[in-house]
Amino acid sequence: MPQPLLEVEDLTVHFPTEDGLVKAVDGISFSIQQGETLGIVGESGSGKSVSFLTVMGLVNQKQAHITGSVRFQGQDLLTIPAEELRTIRGAKMSMIFQDPMTSLHPFYKVGQQIAEAIRTHQPVGKAEAWDQAVDMLGRVGIPRPEERAKQYPHEFSGGMRQRAMIAMALSLNPDLLIADEPTTALDVTVQAQILDLIDRLKSEFNAAVAIITHDLGVVAEHCDNIQVMYAGRIVEAGDTNDIYYKSHHPYTWGLLRSIPRLDSATNERLKPIQGSPPSLINVPSGCPFHPRCPYVMDVCKVERPPLNPADGHHASACHLTLTDKQRIFSEEVLVHR
């Protein structure tokens, strides 16, 4: 296997607060290969955003206790000096955020904001950067980019702003694009447009993409691999087929059963996961999912299950035996979908 583009090893991010230590990310390891699309799925507070903000250097040692390593193209991002990180961030890896309304500056023209990002990293003149910005706006499917570049963010619709954010993120041809809930604030029709756009640009720019989302429906079509996070840990990781057709973790089952299906014949009752996500200050002992898990055993309350690979790459952190997992999934999860 070639050297991965991004390799995260045993990363922990703990925020000290007045109420105690918030264990937002609690020992996760994963990697992203060149050209791969990785989906990161979990509820609010599962640590999915914080782990990638840490990768981007947007959460740093000043705000949190960070241990472990984040290697991007062989460089450890947690230890390199800030100036060096700045040359990587935005140029070699960039991020788009959930809320396109607040991530553009309302006082500056959209074209100026994209040109600024280009000029920060490349020795080009103002006019040339502007031309590149207009070109990028055209490539992300904004009609009449010359006129649109001269407009302010409030003149753009939500979908257009997200396109502008993508244009900015891709203007320096990064190797890794991190999309944090890129479509949650958008309509379904626009969501489909944006996800298709990310797919198309990914192959055009030969970039790797990490899509962070809480909705398993969104990533089904677009990801090669998926990892499910719960309470700051990865509880299941595998390729898309593993997660949707052979899932091994009760939390993933719960997520799959919570989604209303368009093609279900009857309006069958949904089976939500009971309770709410745990506090990250007092994470439940043993398996953090055990208070909400319908298959809980005694061992779950005391011993934290390791993330064990079952068949090569498909790993899950659960004490159930593989046969039990397969039986429960086919009997209780698959039939309800």
Partner 1 sequence: MSVEVTEQSPPRPDAGKQPLVRLSGVKKFFPVTQGILFQHRIGDVHAVDGVDLDVYPGETLGLVGETGCGKSTLARVIMRLYDSTAGTIEFQGRDVTHLKGKELRALRSDMQMIFQDPYASLNPRKTIGSIIGAPYLLHKTVAKDKIKPTVQELMELVGLNPEHYNRFPHEFSGGQRQRIGVARALALKPKLIVCDEPVSALDVSIQAQILNLLEDLQAEFKLTYVFIAHDLSVVKHVSDRIAVMYLGKIVEMTTGGTLYENPKHPYSGALLSAVPIADPELARARRRIILEGDVPSPIDPPSGCRFHPRCPQAQFPRCSAEEPQLLPQHPGQFAACHFPLEDRATVVGDTPA
Amino acid, single-letter form, for residue 198: I
Contact region with partner 1 (CB under 8 A), list: 116-124, 169-177, 187-195, 313-321 = 187-195
Tell me the CA end-to-end span of the chain in Å, nearest whole number: 35
Residue among 241, 282, 285, 330 that touches partner 1 (CB under 8 A): 241
Of 2, 6, 42, which Cα lies nearest the Cα of 24? 42
Q: Binding to partner 1 by residue 189, rule CB under 8 A?
A: yes
> Which residues ranging from 153 to 172 are in contact with partner 1 (CB under 8 A)?
157-160
Contact region with partner 1 (CB under 8 A), list: 27-35, 56-64, 190-198, 323-331 = 190-198
Residue among 114, 201, 256, 320 that touches partner 1 (CB under 8 A): 256
Give alpha helix (H) positions in the chain.
Answer: 48-55, 82-88, 110-121, 126-139, 145-148, 158-170, 188-205, 216-219, 240-245, 250-258, 298-302, 322-328
Enter the tokens of residue 316. 């899950």
Compose the 3-42 pattern: x for residues touching partner 1 by CB under 8 A, - for all others: ----------------------------------------
Q: Binding to partner 1 by residue 214, rule CB under 8 A?
A: yes
Q: Binding to partner 1 by residue 273, rule CB under 8 A?
A: yes
> In angstroms, what is the minimal distance from the CB of 23 to partner 1?
18
How many residues of this chain bind partner 1 (CB under 8 A)?
A: 47
Q: Residues with Cβ < 8 Å from 297, sequence gap 6 or more? A: 319, 320
Amino acid, single-letter form, for residue 177: L
> Which residues ranging from 40 to 79 are in contact with partner 1 (CB under 8 A)?
43-44
Contact region with partner 1 (CB under 8 A), list: 66-74, 95-103, 113-121, 192-200 = 192-200
Of 224, 283, 275, which Cα lies nearest the Cα of 250? 275
